[in-house]
Structure 1
Amino acid sequence: MAGMAAKMILGNKLDSVKGELGSLGGKEMTEEEAEQARLIEEARMEQENERKQRHDKMEAEREVERQRIREKYGLKKKTLEKDEVAEPDDSGRISRKKKTPAEMQAAMAGGEEEEEQGIMDTVVNFFTPLTEKIGSFFGK
């Protein structure tokens, strides 16, 4: 009985969804609908332009405030030359510095084997005393 009631409720909802999906596909737009779609697109573009203008205005206000703070505390603005790339500050990093794409290509060309061998030597040197102690513990 409960199953029949659930089927009736869900069946009606499913039929309405199927009807909506059927009306979406394969239908040509009339002139009115095309005009309405064009107006909607124009409104979206206008809103996007307004948003960009507001953003540019806020960014200009922020820059004025940044400049005021720089002048107040005697800070210098960071400037980069055209070919210069900003290097991240690695002073607080725990792991090693990330490689740039150029460094990765150079490593693939042949310089990487030496570094990998150094890591393997470190691992072997770390585990050798442990294996000797374990071997002596078991009487080997």
Structure 2
Amino acid sequence: MAGMAAKMILGNKLNSVKGELGNLAGGEGEGNDKDEEEAALIEEARQQQEEERKARHAKMEAEREVERQRIREKYGLKKKVAEEAGMPEPDDAGRITRKKKTPAEMQQALQQQEDEEEGFMDTVKGFVAPFAEKLGLDLFK
């Protein structure tokens, strides 16, 4: 307990002395400009690294696509076509996981869920309404 009190008293005094020495040595104005310049340099370096990474990944993907095309030609495989091209999706007979829903199917599922919730509320209102009428309460208006 006494040690903690001593640390608090001496710590505050040491921090104030350190702050005074820092102000005398460097000055506050110079530190802010240097910090801003360093932050700008760091941000520029990060952006450059991100561009290099994207270029490297684009190059690797192009190489992979060339290899995929070579394999397709070698074995006579056809490239998968997206739904946007008007081709139906292949049958999911051997698929382990469920088929992913299209945005229209997801919207329809949400609508059905909302309808079920409304049906539940109607059921609850049907049970509670007679009691509310007997008590003279207007709960559902």
TM-score, normalisation: structure 2: 0.47
TM-score, normalisation: structure 1: 0.47
Structure of higher RCO (CA pairs closer than 8 Å, 6+ residues apart): 2
